[in-house]
Chain A
Amino acid sequence: MASVRLENLRKEFGPVVAVKELTLHFPDGKFAAILGPSGCGKTTTMNMIAGLEAPTRGSIYFDDRRMNDVPPGKRDVGFVFQNYAIFTHMTVAENIGFGLKIRGVDEATIRREVGKIAELLELTNMLNINAGRLSVNDMQKVALGRSMIVKPRIFLLDEPFSNLDAAFRAYMRGELKRIQREIGQTMIYVTHDQVEAMSMADHIAVMDFGVLQQFGTPDEIYNQPVNIFVANFIGSPNMNFIPCYFRSEDGRGYLVQRHGDARVLLDDQRRQLLERHPGNQDLIWGARPEHLTLHAQPSHPEYLRAMVRFLEPLGPKTVVHLELGEKDTIKVIAHPSYREPAGTVQWIEINPKYLHVFDAKTGFAVR
């Protein structure tokens, strides 16, 4: 196993800069995810780690060894892509053992190692089946097993489950995480699906337009997003954003809605922070739908008045869409039995602990 360190990594394709001065450290034996929308540079980054693309500038290290000039075949990297590459004319066992066989490992060892991997992936009762007869789900498991068996120093996965059905994806998220923990393999997982990144990774690198936006644990990325992009990209339904400005009154600090009269009371720490912030007349407050609560009565003076527009029942919860003033809409997660009709006035409670404030010009969180 090895750690991966990227230093000022840059990749240009003609005039297009795919990755910009990327500096990152993926620790040894951990599960890391590179997350971002299509075109953010995540696959290019992965290809540079694997050696399939040469960086325009910057360095790649595995542990302390600079890898830029090491050819892909010598980097000892395992790879699983979206499109599984398995030999359909071979059995599952032959597929999984292939990497060991071409390395000249003896039959008994191969059989033992294949058995271990098959058990880990729950493929044991399929070992003698022709791989071409498997379901697409199991084919992708075989592809995983084939890469895992050679115990590469780094294991790279590029959206390996994105073509598979939702139930299997949910199942494999847990499985892959459990397997990674069990074998302590350094894994780097590329995805555009925030659920995959959040659920499996120890650390997430969020990218957009070739630029690293934030690197942190799932908890940090979710609860302390550094900017509007990260705040908006993580979480479903996404965070609510309300344009506002800061106002101080009788020693209390408020965020006043730009297109309406909703006022959010700030705690002292936030008030002092925003008082000093030069851009405090052009702000955006953010709150996740799951951190807001609806009340029928204004039983507390700080509740915000809003009107129900429509409901989205999702099964275990209902997303309530409301109007906050004339221009802003706001989403709140409610109980699945919530059935208030459009036009109902509701009062929104904001937990100040979960309030985010961003500078509208720069998009950065005000901290």
Chain B
Amino acid sequence: MANIRLENVSKRFGRVTALQSINLEMHHGEFFCVLGPPGAGKTTLLRLIVGLEKPDEGDIYIDDERVNDVHPRDRDIAMIFQNLALYPDKSVFDNVAFPLRERKMPAEEVRARVTQVARMLHIEHLLERKPGKLSGGERQRVAIARALVRTPRAYLMDEPLANLDALLRLEMRIELKRLQEQLNETLVYVTSDQVEAMSMADRVAVLYKGVVQQCDTPDNVYNLPANRRVATIVGSPPMNFLTCQVQRADGQLNLVHSGFGFQVIGSDHPLWDCLCRALPTVQEVLVGVRPEDIRLYPERPTDIIAFPACVAVSEPLGAETIVDVQLGRDIIKVITPPTQHFDEKQDIWVAFDMAKVHVMDAQTGVRIYTTGAPEQLQCILPGTCA
């Protein structure tokens, strides 16, 4: 078990900054995910921890020992790559046993340890086979077994499931989560798949263009994203963003879009504080709403305020349907139950879940406010906003 800490770590390749001032701490026994799109710097981060790259600035600690100058071999960290490299001419047993034999462990101990790990990964029945005779999922398990066999201080995994087909990924996700709970070791897991991060991680660091955007529990990353970038990377389809004009007049504060408007009630409201006192010059904000926090109505509802809109296309997914809706000048995506059917070009009404509305700074994308209850923002009746 180990605690891994990065302090102010930066890494450049020529003129390209791969990572910038990274501060992260991965705790003992934690399932820690690094999530980001391709090119975010995820793999570089792992390579720094394992020692395959050296930071240009900053320090890396493993259990309070500064390891910047420690050779990868002596860091005692196992890494599992996306492209598995198994020895094709060795049996599964010999593949898994390899790291132990290299360390001159007695044969009896090797056998006991390999058997134990094989049982954990459900590959006992495959031990005599060659990797070429295995399925993709089985090979992946063997690669993981080989990393687990020698109880290192921490495990690093670089998109280990990326090359597997969808069903196998689903199965392996469950296996990995279970395995990590059993092992209770530090696991740093890099992925570009938000579902993997959300479902497995204790904490997620969202990385974009070499900068940590947010590091928090999956719940918080999803419900309270630090900025627009995080809200786009986490959630599928991503959060909708609607540019609104900030109108401050006659002691009123309104956020107005071409298709809807909100009024901020009360000068003790946090948005008043932010938009009228702290940022009085800001002209635009982004209103962010997740596709599942919007409801569509074929007729104007009587009990809540809804806004007129028009269906662009429907994307049926089976369990749910994503409806692309023209709201004012923007198209938003809305998740609807499959039982609700809408035609293309159909006129409809859109209502937001007012307890889950986010407001972001249009310039920086930083989230400045999230409602927690429906009455915190008032909808402006359609037709009455400028």
Contacts and interface: CB of A to CB of B under 8 A. Distances in A.
Contacts of B290: 316
Interface size class of A (residues with CB under 8 A): 35 or more
A294 to B, nearest CB: 16
Interface in B309-344: 312-313, 315-320, 322, 324, 331, 333, 335, 344
Nearest to B222: A315
B319 A290 contact: yes
A263 B290 CA distance: 39
Contact of A199 (B177, B235, B322): B322
Contacts of B236: 166, 170
B209 interface: no
A218 B313 contact: no
Contact of A316 (B177, B193, B292, B331): B292
A61 interface: no
Interface string B291-318: 0100000000000000000001101111
B318 A235 contact: yes
Contacts of A37: 165
Given A232-B167, A315-B234, A195 B37 contact: no
Interface residues of B, number: 43
Contacts of A219: 316
A82 interface: no
Interface string B16-27: 000000000000
A333 B194 contact: no
Among A192, A223, A315, find the residue whose CB has the most chain B CB atoms closer than 10 A: A315
A312 B38 contact: no
A245 B37 CA distance: 47
Interface in A163-213: 165-167, 170-171, 173-174, 177-178, 181, 192-195, 198-200
A38 B192 CA distance: 21
Contact of A178 (B165, B193, B324): B324
Contacts of A315: 194, 198, 218, 222, 234-235
Contact of B333 (A174, A192, A238): A174
Contacts of B331: 174
A234 to B, nearest CB: 6
Interface in A288-314: 288, 290, 310, 312-314
Nearest to A194: B166
A223 B338 CA distance: 11
Contacts of A218: 316, 318
A238 B317 CA distance: 13
Interface in B204-235: 218-219, 222, 232-235
A222 interface: yes
Contacts of A181: 313, 344
B194 A236 contact: no
Contacts of A193: 166
Contacts of B322: 173-174, 199
Nearest to A316: B292
B130 interface: no
B177 A310 contact: yes
Contacts of B38: 165
B170 A167 contact: no
A200 B167 CA distance: 21
B137 to A, nearest CB: 13
Interface in B83-113: none
Contacts of A174: 312-313, 315, 322, 324, 331, 333
A132 interface: no
B178 interface: yes
B315 A199 contact: yes
B318 A222 contact: yes
B183 interface: no
Contacts of B317: 195, 198-199
B118 to A, nearest CB: 21
A181 B177 CA distance: 43
Nearest to A217: B316
A224 B218 CA distance: 35
A223 B166 CA distance: 20
B318 A198 contact: yes
A197 B317 CA distance: 9
A316 to B, nearest CB: 4
Contacts of B192: 165-166
A192 B315 contact: no
Nearest to B235: A315
B29 interface: no
A167 B219 CA distance: 19
B316 A167 contact: no
A321 interface: yes
Interface in A202-251: 218-219, 222-223, 232-238
Contacts of A316: 235, 290, 292, 335
Nearest to B293: A316
A236 B199 contact: no
B195 interface: yes
B62 to A, nearest CB: 29
Nearest to A233: B167
5 contacts: A165-B37, A165-B192, A170-B236, A178-B324, A192-B165
Interface of A: 37-38, 165-167, 170-171, 173-174, 177-178, 181, 192-195, 198-200, 218-219, 222-223, 232-238, 288, 290, 310, 312-316, 319, 321, 333
Given A37-B165, A319-B199, 12 more contacts: A166-B193, A170-B237, A174-B312, A174-B313, A174-B324, A218-B318, A219-B316, A223-B318, A232-B167, A312-B174, A312-B177, A313-B199
Nearest 5 interchain pairs by C-beta? A199-B315, A222-B318, A170-B237, A312-B199, A165-B37
